[in-house]
């Protein structure tokens, strides 16, 4: 009877472990597919631009999206075209402080053949609060298309979700290696899990 519970516990434990390593679970902030990606703009129906914000001075390996922690520090906004069609169109970028609408950055319309655009705000932003990124597609013919995305700045030092995820993954990896390599530890884990699920 204990052996059956132990096997059930092992299967449950290994099933949960497999979920942890699922790429679709971790993609775009832990949700499957790009439809839940909060760091993207839809310029036209089903045609997207993805963006990532960085503050390399204080957070060299962190990526941000809706919240940038520090003021008065260089901000790098990187936009990646997820659609080849935009490489042939001129795209304009602007960042404004809201609700005033005060312009803090502007990049005139230009074609970006590489599919990646880097906006550098050398001194970051001066005031805490809400900002709006305006992206305008300026086609050779037809109407100008606009998309907007907001972010907040000056919320203080924050650790990105990806960093927490990496810490959790490292701890889980060490735990799992201990589980696989130590018979005594494995037995204790199996017994504990069997008690929990019974």
Residue % of the chain over a pLDDT of 70: 76
CA count, 13 A, side-chain hemisphere, 35: 2
Backbone angles phi, psi at 140, to 5 degrees: -65, -35
Confidence of residue 184 (pLDDT cuts 50, 70, 90): confident
C-alpha 160 chain-centroid distance: 8
Does residue 31 carry a pLDDT above 50?
A: no
Q: Which residue has the tokens 């889980």?
A: 172
Q: Domains for the chain: give ranges and CATH numbers.
A: 2-25+163-197 (no CATH), 38-158 (2.60.40.1930)
Which tokens is 43 given?
């310029």
Report which of residues 19 and 81 the model is more confident about.
Answer: 81
Please report the DSSP string for 163-193 in residue order. Answer: HHHHHHHHHHHHHHHHHHH-HHHHHHHHHHH
Confidence of residue 42 (pLDDT cuts 50, 70, 90): confident
Across the range 180-185, mean pLDDT stands at 83
Strand partners, 44: 47
Angle between helices 161-181 and 183-197 (to 10 degrees): 110
Does residue 161 carry a pLDDT above 60?
A: no
Q: What is the pLDDT of residues 50-74, one digit of tens each?
A: 889 999 998 888 899 888 999 999 9
Q: 74 exposed, middle or buried (CB, 10 Å; 0-12, 13-18, 19+)?
A: middle
Query: What does the angle CA 120 – CA 124 – CA 126 come to, to the nearest 5 degrees?
Result: 150
CA distance 19 to 26: 10
Q: SS3 of 159, please? A: coil
- Which positions ≥6 away from 146 have C-beta within 8 Å? 134, 135, 136, 137
């Amino acid at each position: 009877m204990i052996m059956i519970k132990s096997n059930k516990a092992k299967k449950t434990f290994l099933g949960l472990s497999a979920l942890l390593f699922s790429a679709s679970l971790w993609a775009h902030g832990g949700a499957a597919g790009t439809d839940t990606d909060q760091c993207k703009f839809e310029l036209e129906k089903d045609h997207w631009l993805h963006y990532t914000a960085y503050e390399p001075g204080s957070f060299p390996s962190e990526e941000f999206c809706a919240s940038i922690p520090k003021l008065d520090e260089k901000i790098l906004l990187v936009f990646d075209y997820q659609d080849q069609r935009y490489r042939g169109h001129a795209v304009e970028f602007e960042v404004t402080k809201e609700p005033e609408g005060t312009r803090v950055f502007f990049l005139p319309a230009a074609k970006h053949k590489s599919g990646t655009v880097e906006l550098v705000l050398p001194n970051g932003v001066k005031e805490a609060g809400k900002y709006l990124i305006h992206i305008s597609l300026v086609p050779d013919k037809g109407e100008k298309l606009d998309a907007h995305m907001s972010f907040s700045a000056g919320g203080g030092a924050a650790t990105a979700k990806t960093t927490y995820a990496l810490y959790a993954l490292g701890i889980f990896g060490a735990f799992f290696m201990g589980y696989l390599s130590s018979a005594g530890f494995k037995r204790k884990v199996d017994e504990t899990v069997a008690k929990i699920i019974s």
